[in-house]
């Protein structure tokens, strides 16, 4: 799996790449790591890593385990593992995930709902007698 930090991406790390000169409209169903550099309208359903690159424009609801947003996304994001919005990333929509990383400088306009995760539960303080 490719690193999600804000560094140069190598297309060879991805099985599927949508080039910056491609406009896709419809439902994309993906099973392998996907790098979006173009424009997507509709819905993205993935069972693997999804990276929206810096100049990509996405107007779609997204469902994937791990989503990295470096470009512009308008739509809701449902990630079973993690959502990472980098300093160049923009998300206008709601997030549902177990883990989130918002880098300083990113834009997030929506609501975030954190679902259960594998970390230990927080214990309620013991009541005073």
The whole-angstrom separation of Cα 89 and Cα 52 is 9
The per-residue pLDDT for 124 is 52
Determine the Cα angle at 39 with ends 48 and 60, to 5°: 60
The contacts of residue 7 (CB under 8 Å, 6+ apart) are: none
Percent of the chain with pLDDT over 90: 71
pTM given for the model: 0.82
Average pLDDT for residues 76-95, to the nearest whole number? 98
pLDDT at 93 over 70: yes
pLDDT at 128 over 60: no
């Amino acid at each position: 799996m490719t690193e999600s930090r804000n560094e140069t991406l190598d297309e060879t790390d991805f099985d599927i790449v949508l080039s910056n000169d491609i406009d896709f409209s419809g439902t994309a169903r993906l099973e392998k790591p996907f790098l979006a550099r173009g424009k997507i309208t509709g819905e993205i359903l993935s069972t693997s890593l999804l990276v929206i690159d810096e100049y990509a424009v996405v107007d779609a609801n997204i469902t994937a385990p791990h989503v990295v947003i470096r470009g512009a996304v308008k739509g809701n994001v449902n990630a079973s593992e993690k959502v990472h919005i980098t300093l160049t990333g923009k998300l206008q929509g709601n997030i549902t995930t177990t883990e989130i990383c918002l880098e300083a400088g990113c834009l997030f306009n929506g609501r975030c709902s954190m679902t259960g995760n594998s970390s230990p539960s927080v214990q309620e303080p013991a009541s005073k007698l």
